[in-house]
Structure 1
Amino acid sequence: MSQSKPQSSVLEVAVGCSSRAGIKTINEDSASFSIPEQQSMVINKGICCALADGVSTAEAGKQASELAVSRFIDDYFLSPETWSVAHSGEKLLSAINLSLFKKSHEFASEEKGYLCTFVAMVFKSQTAHFFHVGDSRIYHFRNNKLKQLTRDHCAFVGEGKSYLTRALGMDNNIHVDYGKLAVEPGDRFLLSSDGLHDFVDEAQLIEALQSEDDEQTIATKLADLALDQQSDDNISCIVATVASIAHESLDDFNTKLTRLPFPPDLAPGMKLDGYLIEKELFASSRSQLYLVSDIESGEKLVMKTPSLNFQQDTSYIDRFIQEEWIGKRLSSDKIVRVIKQSRPRTCLYYVMEYVDGIGLDKWIEQNPFPAPKQAIAIIKQIAAGLEAFHEKETIHQDLKPGNILINEQQDVKIVDFGSTFVAGTAELYSPLVHEGALGTATYSDPQYLLGKNTGIQGDLYALATITYEVFTSKLPYGEGVEECQTAFDYDRLRYVSATYHNPIIPIWFDRALEKGVQIQPEKRYLTLDQFLSDLTNPNPLFLHDVIETKEEQSRVFFWMILSGFWVAMLILVFFLFKS
């Protein structure tokens, strides 16, 4: 079967697929593909092909290959749009592998092995992503040159014999090979089982892939050729040709973004799309926040509108629209909730839940030395909100006290998605380039300003800086961090011990803060859990350092006393001799 999406300026891939038993009575291979009908799904998730070869000696190879292919394709399109292709594929294959492994061991008496090799490709935007386990293969054909993208997971034992070293269902953990490459119109890919590529040589593959025939015809001819050349196995292949890649001019993109006009400056008493403006909560050169009430329900909400200063700034509009999209996809009681609107909009804005509280920056001013239990509870809530971001492969990138709201009950909400990085979105082609570093220099990972995205570690740096400030009302590197522009500037910074500002802070707690705000990412914590663990439980390594420091201080004190004694004795001898 062959299928394609004939549309301009979008990703188009034509696919043909053939899978047959060959000379065997049962076909233990499985091959399939999916091209979504909705263009939005093609843009956000792409086009997916998968092929699996059931291991014939495993008794349940057919069931394994069918399950692997069907679940991978179905579940891939159900995975969050914010997930990158790599993250989605590896998560799915890990789950599929564990499912097959458990099936193999569910009934020990049956001795059935649910094992299969596996290859899959996902075409998204301007990139082809591929996954591989076992000895099925993926080939890339461009400019009459054929390249094998995968490496067989086999061990050779002599006399031409080999055995699989990796397959889905073989172990409870699986290592999946992943790769990607930029595609060009005309690129052709071949996914094949060993029943085909072991019996059709490279010259014959090139000849077939050079053909002007459609993809389904090529796939069928390749399978026929393998059978004619004495293939003694099941024969499966998928042929996919990239007809066009995602492309959009800046003018087209600008037209799409600005289909809604900017709202005018709003004032109390005005009405907009069923919302009554109550009062202005905040205004800056970039945006405005208004307290509004839904006229139908009476619910209090917050409306965010873009500043009229940026009506011609496509990059700004793109980020503003993305803020709402990101907010709708995050689910946590520690993150402000973006409301899905049921009424049509006449201009550009979005609405959020109203939080009756103050910014954490104001709270710190009002509570300069909070009780440790109270402060840690706040930090844990912020971390829980960040975890919800990270579960969707989304990095906040501008976490600071001003973007954290806290109410009278000490409940925390993270706000502002204007600087977030979303892995899934980052894979999409965009004609826009967002200039400048994101975030606030005081709290943002210094690596951002140096042009590096450190992912979770960037948010961790910000959280550690905020934790330091909550306990001390100061910053770990002082105010000088705001003036840093280069790596040399950051190298000159020196961490100021939190105990200097707040003497009740234990040394081990201070060491955890120091590690959290290290300028070099490799010296920081890798996860939020590690950081929180060291904040709430004394790390023995830090305690060891404290003990060594005290021992060193004791030795120094001993030699100081001894030196003082000898000086006193010399002075006494001097006066006795003089007298």
Structure 2
Amino acid sequence: MSETNSGVQTETEVNPEAQTPRLSHGLCTRAGIKPQNEDAAIYHWPASPHLQEYLGAVAALADGVSSAEAGAQASHTATEQFVRDYYKVPDTWSVAHAGQKILASINSKLYRKSHDFPQQEKGFLCTFSALIFKSRTAHYFHIGDSRIYHLRGDNLKCLTRDHNITLAHRQQMLSRALGMDTGLQVDYGQLSLAKDDVLLITSDGVHDFIQPDLLRELLAESQLSEQETAETLVRLAEENGSDDNLSALVVKVKALPQTTLDDYSRQLTHLPFPPELEPGMVLDGYQVERELFSSQRSQLYLVRDSATGEILVIKTPSVNYEDDIHYIDRFIQEEWIGLRIRSPQVVRLHRQTRPRTALYYLMEYVQGSTLEQWITNNRFPKPAEAFRILKEIATGLQAFHDQETIHQDLRPANIMIDGDGRVKIIDFGSVYVAGSAEIFRPLEHPEALGTASYSDPHYILGHNSGIRGDIYALATIAYEMFTGELPYGEEIENCRSHADFERLRYRTASQFNPVVPIWFDRALERGCSIDLEQRYSTLTEFMRDLANPNPDYLREDPTEKGDASLFWKILCGIWVATLLAVAALFSSSG
């Protein structure tokens, strides 16, 4: 089929408490004078309230390339797979990341189909333009010469540019299309929405045959429904001599999430804070065995599920913050984030199955000690054991990054080592989630996150450095594991400005542990560099340079002479052999 109206209603119905826009759409596509309609258009509004809030609505249009023989199949494949795959992505992913990943997959599929049967000379090529409406933002993706327009008031703007090249005799040819090449360049952008905004996606069979002024008048016409507008646009283009397939998809913003701070506070605080728990007390079927940890911000208790006998840990918020909606917002997000991270190196959160009467969440019980305690007890650890622990921390951290999630507060106190020596990252209190950050929230958290000794200085200065921030923390932890010290000393605790951090100087690890090789030390220095441009950009690259000497880091210090130089060469050889053996053993056991 050439057009799809996924979802039941023409106008979206929303829960007034949900963070979702209210939209109305119209869709029309016709073959025109051509024997076959190679356009495809789709609009989808999911039934699930969760998907509505965290993924939003999708409007997409594809125009099959007529000269490609299989253009119709390509356009239908592109629109239908885009919608299908989008609603399967982790809801922690940003829209930009999700769209790019899905389109890359579709492009590979179409390119492969074009080359699977070269004797048939079929090209699976199409243009593609899509809008994703999430919270108060429209995200758009574009490849080819279909177009996306935005009308606000009397101002009509084309958000996209045609990917065409002009040949001789003014003949135009597509320079980009889905399925054209193994690589794919996608134009991506986003637009803050306002009530009564109108968004339009058209194929060239429509916009090439309607003047912009008339297009603006039709979109602004309040007497027409969105469906009538789409049909009118197609009809006018056909009457104006369109010689191509014709498609128009219109979406109007009827309302946007307008939750006030007071409303949001009531939603968050409908569950009371639990009282201070004592051994023997029962909360929602969980009997308290003992208190494990208590601070000004939260408490951890060991509990037993009265129904199953399972031993778990319950985390409760501190009554000190009972009136602090910023704190409550973070606490609620901790559980939501933790339930989405799946890794043996990250503590597993327990999904609640019984009704809750208070604000808390549950997690697995990890018997062991913190990495902070381990560092204290292992002043100069065996390189093999320390590197194994470090690699497990990196694996757990990668599980966060795979979900478009930045930990932001990785430190030894938030890392457990269980009875078998295995690592568990246990805290989610400062995590940043790209997908969640795209959802409008009336709350902001201006305070710096994390702990100064381990957090990227850019956090303190108000800049989210993303993955590089977590690499900084991991490099700092690695430095402390091998030296018992911090790379910039205790002075970093008092830094509050650019000037303060610029005065800091990295202290070579060999000052505190003379067996640390120079290549290992230089990898640590780059990992915790204050300068973002100097710092590693991926965990993989950082861990590779720790496990395998980077040739750039093996240049000898000109001050080294004779026996000292020979000592370093021998020591480097021992470290390399040890770390490579550990890395190989770790990989085979994984």
Smaller-chain TM-score bracket? over 0.9
Q: 1:363 & 1:468 partners in 2: Cα distance?
A: 14
Partner of 1:89: 99
Q: 2:11 aligns with which of 1, 4, 15?
A: 4
Q: Secondary structure at the match of 1:113?
A: coil
Structure 2 unaligned regions, length at least 5:
565-590
Structure 1 letter corresponding to 2:430: S
Q: CA offsets, 1:244-270, max 9 Å, x none?
A: 111201111011111111110000111
Partner residue in 1 for 2:530: 519
1:215-252 CA deviation, whole Å, 9 max, x = no partner?
Answer: 00000000000100111100011011111111201111
Counterparts of 1:271 and 1:171, CA distance in 2 = 62
- Counterpart of 1:411 in structure 2 is 422
* 2:118 corresponding residue in structure 1: 108
2:509 to 481, 498, 510: 498
Cα drift, residue 418 of structure 1? 0.6
Report whether the alignment pairs 1:272 with 2:283. Answer: yes
2:130 corresponding residue in structure 1: 120
TM-score (norm 1): 0.94
Paired residue for 2:466, among 455, 477, 484?
455
Select 2:340's aligned residue among 320, 329, 334: 329
1:355-394 alignment, distance < 5 Å: 355-394=366-405
Q: Return closer, same or farther for 1:198/1:548 CA change in 2, 3 Å cut-off.
A: farther
The answer for the alignment partner of 2:142 in structure 1 is 132
Tell me the CA shift for residue 142 of structure 1. 1.0
Distance in 2, Cα, partners of 1:118 & 1:267:
60
Contact 1:124 1:428 in 2 (8 A): yes
Distance 1:106 1:370 in 2: 56
* Equivalent position amino acid for 2:11 in 1: S
Shift of 1:551: 8.3
Structure 1 runs of 4+ off > 3 angstroms?
A: 6-10, 547-554
Query: Pairwise CA RMSD of aligned residues?
Result: 1.6
Distance in 2 (alpha carbons) for counterparts of 1:101 and 1:6: 38
Task: Report how many residues are paired.
Answer: 554
Task: Tell me, in whole angstroms, the C-alpha distance in 2 between the residues paired with 1:502 and 1:349.
Answer: 43
TM-score, normalised by the number of residues in structure 2: 0.92
Deviation at 1:38, TM superposition (A): 2.9
- The answer as to 2:201 corresponding to 1:201 is no
Q: 3-state DSSP class of the match of 2:118?
A: coil
* Contact 2:126-2:178 at 8 Å conserved across structures: yes
Secondary structure of the corresponding residue to residue 277 of structure 1: strand
- Partner in structure 1 of residue 27 of structure 2: 17
Could you tell which deviates more after superposition, 153-162 or 411-420?
153-162
Point out the more displaced range, 195-204 or 22-31: 195-204
Query: In the aligned structure 2, how far is the partner of 1:552 from the partner of 1:315?
Result: 61
- Partner SS for 2:533: helix
The sequence identity of aligned pairs, in percent, is 53
Aligned-partner SS, 1:521: coil
CA distance in 1, matches of 2:451, 2:62: 48
Give the Å deviation of 1:437: 0.3
Quote the residue 1:488 is aligned against.
Answer: 499
1:421-500 correspondence to structure 2 within 5 Å: 421-500=432-511
- Which residue in 1 is equivalent to 2:571? none
State the match for 1:221 in structure 2: 232
Deviation at 1:201, TM superposition (A): 1.3
Gaps of 5+ in 1: 555-579
For residues 428 and 548 of structure 1, the distance between their equivalents in structure 2, rounded to whole angstroms, comes to 55
Match status 1:315 vs 2:326: yes
Question: 2:293 matched to which residue of 1?
Answer: 282
Tell me the SS of whatever aligns to 2:523. Answer: helix
Q: Which residue of 2 aligns with 1:142?
A: 152
Q: Do the aligned residues in 1 keep the contact of 2:70 with 2:125 (CA within 8 Å)?
A: yes
Match of 1:210 among 220, 242, 246: 220
Whether 1:185 and 2:195 are equivalent positions in the alignment is: yes
Report how far residue 366 of structure 1 moved: 0.6
Structure 2: distance between partners of 1:211 and 1:225? 15
The one-letter code of the counterpart of 2:348 is: R
Asked whether the 8 Å contact 2:153–2:220 carries over to 1, the reply is no
The 3-state SS of whatever aligns with 1:523 is coil
Q: Is the 8 A contact 1:4 1:35 kept in 2?
A: no
**One-letter amino acid matched to 1:312:** D
Q: Deviations over 1:4-42 (max 9, x none)?
A: 125557411111111110101100000011112233322
